[in-house]
């Protein structure tokens, strides 16, 4: 049986004791073993290398300080992930919503031989990960990138292993929804946008499709903008107000009275008979139209008859 493992464990315990006592070199030796996976985790949460390094730096300093006051015998790896997670989430909430993301999830070492197809795939995965709730994203990366157990993830996130399993299931289901959304036919997407309300475009499948389809995204934008554009084409008419409406209504009495007079005058001028009746009727229609126009914008009264809006 090899004596290497017990000796390594002894050295690790010795380093931890010295780190608890405030020895920077002892802490550095412990922390360096997890630095790369903690960096990848922070980058998966934050989406870019610059912010990930900031979060990692803060996490390192806080871990060094906290270890000196931590009385319990803790599992170092999930404890470090917990601190890194909190720092990354804190930075997400402080930074502008327009912060730029890295082009790829991988580091420089694995970008040389990457094909165009792989880059596109990673770009889509990056966008899908950013679309996940913070807790789902964190649990998924801890599990699938860093290989933490459900119990370790639960310790890092402050929850139970059972809750972690549910969170992982939801995260994986959400990623599957994104894949299905991108595969949707544009006609089905545009019909759903046209038939639905604003909530339709907020579904995860729809968001995933719109992120990669400029045609459907332009269709969605047009739907949002069109009501304002139509309103600009049909500006509201100046209102008459109470006094204006009252004046217009009083004016209809005169106009309404003129209807009969005009018709009678035309009839007389025509010499009576069938032809006179036709001319009188035509004149009456003209007068009615004039009366109605006079009261445009409200209820019109013509010859004592009310015409509702």
- Bridge-based pairing of strands 305-307 and 300-302 is antiparallel
Q: How far apart are CA 107 and CA 40, in angstroms?
A: 9
Cβ atoms within 10 Å, residue 179:
13
Cβ atoms within 10 Å, residue 298:
15
Cβ neighbours of residue 191 closer than 8 Å, sequence gap 6 or more: none
Query: What is the token pair recorded at 113?
Result: 């031989």
pLDDT for residue 181: 92
Q: How far apart are CA 309 and CA 300, in angstroms?
A: 8
Q: What is the value of pTM for the model shown?
A: 0.56
Per-residue burial over 190-214, b if 16 or more Cβ lie within 10 Å, else e, is: bebbeeeeeeebeebbbbbbbbebe
| Full pLDDT tens readout for the chain, 309 residues | 444 433 434 356 777 888 888 889 999 999 999 999 999 999 988 888 899 999 999 999 999 999 888 767 788 899 999 999 999 988 888 866 444 545 444 444 454 455 667 777 778 888 898 889 989 999 999 999 888 999 999 999 999 999 999 999 999 999 999 999 999 999 999 999 999 877 777 889 999 999 989 999 999 999 999 988 888 887 777 777 788 888 888 875 444 444 444 444 444 444 444 444 444 444 444 444 444 444 444 444 444 444 444
pLDDT for residue 70: 78
Domain 4-105+115-224 class, CATH top level: mainly alpha
Query: What is the token pair recorded at 282?
Result: 């035509």
- Residue 82: closest CA among 156, 30, 159, 160: 156
pLDDT for residue 36: 93
What does the H/E/C string look like for 186-232?
HHHHHHHHHHCCCCHHHCHHHHHHHHHCHHHHHHHHHHHHHHHHHHH
Residue 202 region by backbone torsions, left for phi larger than 0, else alpha for psi between -120 and 50, else beta: alpha
pLDDT for residue 63: 93
Task: Judge residue 42's burial from the number of C-beta atoms within 10 Å of its C-beta, 0-12 exposed, 13-18 middle, 19 or more buried.
Answer: buried
Cβ atoms within 10 Å, residue 277:
14
Cβ atoms within 10 Å, residue 232:
8
pLDDT for residue 73: 75
Q: How far apart are CA 11 and CA 41, in angstroms?
A: 27
């Amino acid at each position: 049986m090899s004596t290497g493992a017990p000796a390594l464990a002894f050295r690790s315990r010795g380093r931890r004791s010295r780190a608890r006592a405030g020895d920077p070199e002892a802490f550095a030796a412990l922390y360096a073993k997890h630095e790369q996976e903690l960096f990848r985790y922070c980058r998966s949460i934050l989406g870019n290398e610059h912010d990930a390094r900031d979060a990692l730096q803060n996490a390192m300093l806080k871990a060094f300080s906290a270890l000196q006051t931590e009385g319990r015998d803790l599992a170092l790896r999930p404890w470090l992930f917990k601190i890194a997670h909190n720092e990354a989430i804190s930075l997400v909430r402080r930074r502008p919503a327009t912060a730029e993301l890295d082009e790829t999830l991988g580091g420089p070492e694995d970008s040389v031989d990457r094909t165009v197809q792989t880059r596109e795939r990673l770009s889509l995965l990056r966008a899908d990960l950013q679309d996940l709730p913070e807790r789902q994203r964190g649990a998924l990366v801890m599990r699938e990138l860093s290989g933490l157990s459900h119990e370790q993830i639960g310790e890092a996130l402050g929850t139970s292993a059972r809750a972690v399993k549910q969170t992982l299931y939801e995260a994986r289901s959400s990623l599957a929804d994104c894949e299905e959304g991108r595969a949707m036919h544009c006609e089905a997407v545009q019909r759903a946008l046209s038939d639905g309300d604003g909530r339709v475009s907020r579904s995860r499948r729809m968001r995933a499709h719109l992120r990669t389809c400029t045609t459907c995204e332009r269709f969605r934008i047009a739907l949002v903008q069109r009501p304002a554009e139509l309103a600009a084409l049909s500006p509201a008419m100046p209102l008459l107000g109470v006094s204006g409406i009252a004046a217009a209504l009083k004016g209809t009495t005169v106009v309404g009275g003129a209807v009969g007079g005009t018709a009678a005058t035309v009839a007389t001028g025509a010499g009576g008979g069938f032809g006179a009746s036709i001319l009188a009727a035509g004149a009456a229609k003209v007068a009615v139209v004039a009366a109605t126009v006079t009261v445009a914008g409200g209820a019109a009264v013509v010859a004592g008859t009310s015409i509702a809006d």
